[in-house]
Structure 1
Amino acid sequence: MGQTIANSMKENQKEMQKEMQKKQLEMLLKQRQTQLAIQFASGKEFFHWFASFYTIIFPLCIIGALKKKNPLPLIPLVPLGFVCGYQYDMYYGNKMERIKKEAERLIDQEPQLFYFPKNAHIVSQEEYQEILGININKK
């Protein structure tokens, strides 16, 4: 009888640990989701401000170039246009999907990029590979 109680307690303890780990993971994922959502919303807000600035500066540069009869005032439009286009692609296009796919490819095909330096004394490359389940011979 004492043995069955001990086994039952061990099973209950394991179940409690699994449930606690599940809740911790859930909290971690919700926190990550919230942080990403805040960063993404902040980026969208910045894009709106930057696009407004670009919308104002664009005609002013053109008017300046026409009045001076010199294309020099148009030069700022090129880099500003690239920045505006990049931000639009990031927040309203599919840039995030492309970034995620590239990150997945790097993790799968080039895991050595993420090893700690040898003198970091945090974890060895072998331990890192074991923890993440990386096949050493995989290439």
Structure 2
Amino acid sequence: MGQSISNSMKENQKEMQKEMQKKQLELMLKQRQAQLAIQFASGKELFHWYASFYSFIFPICVIGAIKKKNPLPILVLIPLGFICAYQYDMFYGDKMKRIKIEAERLIELESKLFYFPKNANIVSQEEYETILQIKKKVN
């Protein structure tokens, strides 16, 4: 009878640990999602400010170039335009999807890029591969 109670307690303890791990994972994922959402929202806000600045400076540069009969003020718009386009693609285009796809490819096919240096003494390559369950590919 005592052994069955002990076994029952061990099973309950294991289930409680699994439940705690599940809740910790859920909390961690929600926290990650909230952090990413805040970063993404702040990036969109920055883009709005930058696009407003670009919209303001664009006609000034064009008018300045026409009045001075010199294309130099328009040349300023070129790098500013690239930055604005990059931010637009990041927050309203599909740049985040392309980055995610490339990150997945790197993790899958080029995992050795993420190994610690040999002298770091943090974790060996074997332990790293075991922890992340990296399957060694034979060339």
The TM-score bracket by the shorter chain reads over 0.9
Gaps of at least 5 residues in structure 1 are none
Supply the distance in 1 between the matched residues of 2:19 and 2:84 (Cα, whole angstroms). 46
State the SS of the aligned residue for 1:134.
Answer: coil
Aligned residue identity for 1:62 = V
Distance of 1:17 and 1:96 partners within structure 2: 36
Identical columns (%): 75
CA RMSD of aligned residues (A): 0.9
Map residues 83-94 of structure 1 onto 2, 5 A cutoff. Answer: 83-94=83-94
Structure 1 runs (4+) deviating above 4 angstroms are none
What runs of 5+ residues in structure 2 fail to find an aligned partner? none
Deviation at 1:7, TM superposition (A): 0.8
1:59-98 correspondence to structure 2 within 5 Å: 59-98=59-98
Who is 2:43 aligned against? 43
Give the TM-score normalised by structure 1.
0.97
CA–CA distance in structure 2, aligned partners of residues 118 and 39 of structure 1: 34
Alpha-carbon distance between aligned partners in 1 of 2:28 and 2:117, rounded to the nearest angstrom = 27
Cα distance change of structure 1 residues 61 and 99 upon mapping to structure 2, 3 Å threshold: same
TM-score (norm 2): 0.97
Letter in 1 for 2:13: Q
